Amino acid sequence: MRLYQLGEFGLIDRLAKLLGKPPKEVRIGIGDDAAAIELGNQKLLLVTTDTLVENIHFKLKEFSFFDLGSKALAANISDVAAMGGIPQYALVTIGAHKNLRVEKVEELYRGIKYLAKKYKIAIIGGDTIQSPKELILSITLLGKVEAKHLLTRAGGRVGDAILVTGSFGGPAAQNYRSKFKIRWEEARIIAQSDLCTSMIDSSDGLARSVMELCRASQVGARIWLQHIPIDPKATLEQALYGGEEYELVFTAPKTKVQNLKSLVEKRTKTKVSVVGEILENKMGIKLFTPQGTVLSLKKGGYEHFK
């Protein structure tokens, strides 16, 4: 079998089975935004890694090196935020061709440093290696979260409402992938409210995020297309499948929705929208138009090896 036949997510499932169960102190292992490891005293260590490869994740003509550095760290911060955590320490690995100018590498690290300073993250190490051609940038981020405030993809329950922050489709419509807003403050408020049952970030697109949340929670979903907050310059297709936002997709009991929505909006001024509800797993994931037409959700989002 070739990788293209299995795809990224099929490969992850296969490798998870091969590796077996992690030690008991690992609360959350493969398959969520970050791994969660028990530290004692009801504290958890969060660990996440994201890797960017030139001409796969980005083209240098579309990014400054500064923006590229910021983007790489942003993806990790968003993952830790989606678990309800606080980012603390990062390790940065860069693979570059030997002819790349040193000043470009320094500019990339300035971009990382800029965002790290904003979120009080210490860069504590990493690796520098030679690449045969393309630039490779990989960041591992460590964070922490109180055990009682940990949020995962797996807590959604039948009858829960599906909520989102912000709007969707902007990066795909306007190609401003170097400009982003990380919903870290919103995520902490949601986690500490104890009103939320599951959460994921939307960096792979709204459609993919809903699918992964439903997959982990073993549920289905109904999404109302007219309730999706779409960027004014974006199409519905871009809002569903474009990705590159760092919005939050989360679930909560319907009786708690108004309290949670008001809490986030009052404290952050970020709009929260109810876009759907959780159904039984056998119902699958369905999109409902204003006219009542039922559509199936396409897989959407980028998948490696496909």
Residue 231's alpha-carbon distances to 11, 140, 199, in angstroms, are 33, 31, 22
- The confidence score (pLDDT) of residue 173 equals 74
Q: CA 192, 193, 194, 198: dihedral to nearest 10 degrees? A: -80
* All residues at 6 or more sequence positions from 108 whose CB lies less than 8 Å from its CB, including other chains: 65, 66, 68, 69, 94, 137
- The confidence score (pLDDT) of residue 9 equals 85
- The confidence score (pLDDT) of residue 165 equals 98
- The confidence score (pLDDT) of residue 290 equals 87
Q: Are 219 and 251 in contact (CB under 8 A)?
A: no
- The confidence score (pLDDT) of residue 61 equals 87
Residue 260's alpha-carbon distances to 161, 176, 255, in angstroms, are 11, 30, 10
Q: By C-alpha distance, which of 124, 131, 136 is closest to 91? A: 124
pLDDT tens, N- to C-terminus, the chain (306 residues): 999 999 988 999 999 999 999 999 999 999 888 999 999 999 999 999 999 999 988 888 888 999 999 999 999 999 999 999 999 999 999 999 999 999 999 999 999 999 999 999 999 999 999 999 999 999 999 999 999 999 999 999 999 999 999 999 988 777 655 567 899 999 999 999 999 999 999 988 999 999 999 999 999 999 999 999 999 989 999 999 988 889 999 999 999 999 999 999 999 999 999 999 999 999 999 999 988 888 877 766 667 887
Q: By C-alpha distance, which of 102, 104, 93, 90 is closest to 128? A: 93
* Domains of the chain listed by start with CATH number: 3-148 (3.30.1330.10), 152-296 (3.90.650.10)
Backbone angles phi, psi at 75, to 5 degrees: -60, -40
pTM beyond cutoff 0.75: yes
